[in-house]
Amino acid sequence: MSIKKRPVILDGDPGHDDAIAWVLAASMPEFDIKAITTVAGNQTLAKVTYNARRIAALLHLDVEVAKGRAVPLMSDLIIAPNFHGESGLDGPKLPEPEHPESSLSAIEMMAKVLQESEEKVTIIATGPQTNVGALLLTHPELKEKIEVISTMGGGIRNGNWTPAAEFNILVDPEASYLEYHSGVPVQMCGLDVTEQAIVYPEDWERIRALNNPVAKTVAEWFDFFFIHLSELGWKGATLHDPCAVLSLIHPEIFDIRDYYVTTELSGLYTRGETVADVYGITGNKPNCKAVVGLDRQKFVDYLVEACAKFEGWEVNL
């Protein structure tokens, strides 16, 4: 029996954890990846777009990569070179892109995929939510074609870039706000879960030992990503973005709660915080499936399993 595939768009700012999220997505028979769109965040738009095209080449993804917005909807861009290096994806050598960049913008590409798809499309957005926010604003007629926006961003308990705000949401709080108030189902993997999605060096040695080209690349991404995290005191690599992929396919290993969530747009100290109504104080109906916990060991096992699927893979370096 063949698995029913769900059409997905991968939107991100790769980025080591975006890249690993996309490896995971590419390995899943449940997904039919329709397009990749990029957004400025971890590095500048030109750099993350080049990275996205190289990742697509590594994974032999026969899809177009469409460049998104270079800046947030209305804020100045923040980037994170201390985590991801000058290229935005420092570490192992990657194959050069196989396909030219799409002539469409990310918004046009997303709209085209939604328009052409008979089924609803899942958008996995693992960078600032700029492209998705722009899509919702400019193609309101396509909202109903979106199955769910699965986002890595925010944190109910705490932030990381500031005490209250997580990086992706801090970069473009308005875009995040538009998602939560769009009526489209949103699944949120915030720091509540992603800081529990810790992969330790012994875990990624399991991946390296698989000894296929993708697994080796993933292990070397971990090596690089962990450098700055270990300086901050982390004992392993917090694998933020892959949660947004895996929680769609294996919700049973995650703790998922229905909350009303919104994004703070003001605030001296809290701009970009995702605020959740845990006690039901506002009377607002839940608009979000907030992922707040996971079974770490099973998460790691799925990751290793995903990397094992690239056995015998050929890569032209």
* Shortest CB 157 distance to another protein, Å: 5
Q: Give catalytic status of residue 240 as yes or no.
A: yes
Nearer to another protein, 229 or 253 (CB): 229
Candidates 4, 266, 285, 312; binder of another protein (CB under 8 A) is 266
SS3 47: helix
Q: Which of 262, 288, 291, 302 binds another protein (CB under 8 A)?
A: 262
**Catalytic residue chosen out of the listed positions 16, 60, 99, 240:** 240
**HEC per residue, the chain:** CCCCCEEEEEEECCCHHHHHHHHHHHHCCCEEEEEEEECCCCCCHHHHHHHHHHHHHHCCCCCCEEECCCCCCCCCCCCCHHHHCCCCCCCCCCCCCCCCCCCCEHHHHHHHHHHHCCCCEEEEECCCCHHHHHHHHHCHHHHHHEEEEEEECCCCCCCCCCCCCCHHHHHCHHHHHHHHCCCCCEEEECHHHHCCCEECHHHHHHHHCCCCHHHHHHHHHHHHHHHHHHHCCCCCEECHHHHHHHHHHCHHHEEEEEECEEECCCCCCCCCCEEECCCCCCCCCCCEEEEEEECHHHHHHHHHHHHHCCCCCCCCC
What character string, x for contact with another protein (CB under 8 A) and - otherwise, covers 156-185? -xxxxxxxx---------------------
**Closer Cβ to another protein, 143 or 157, answer by number:** 157
Which of 74, 209, 232, 317 forms a contact with another protein (CB under 8 A)? Answer: 232
Closest CA to 23 of 238, 245, 228, 172: 245
265, 301, 308, 309: residue in contact with another protein (rule CB under 8 A): 265
| 80 counts as binding another protein under rule CB under 8 A | no
- Out of 44, 75, 105, 270, the only residue in the binding site for another protein (CB under 8 A) is 270
Count of residues binding another protein (CB under 8 A)? 26
- Which span sits near another protein by CB under 8 A: 64-72, 101-109, 211-219, 268-276? 268-276
**Contact with another protein (CB under 8 A) among 3, 202, 279, 312:** 279
Which listed range, 69-77, 86-94, 155-163, 296-304, lies at the site for another protein (CB under 8 A)? 155-163
Nearer to another protein, 11 or 277 (CB): 277
Verify binding: residue 198, another protein, rule CB under 8 A.
no
Name the residues that contact another protein, by CB under 8 A: 157-164, 232, 262, 264-271, 273, 275-279, 281-282
Would you please indicate which residues are annotated as catalytic (active-site) residues? 240
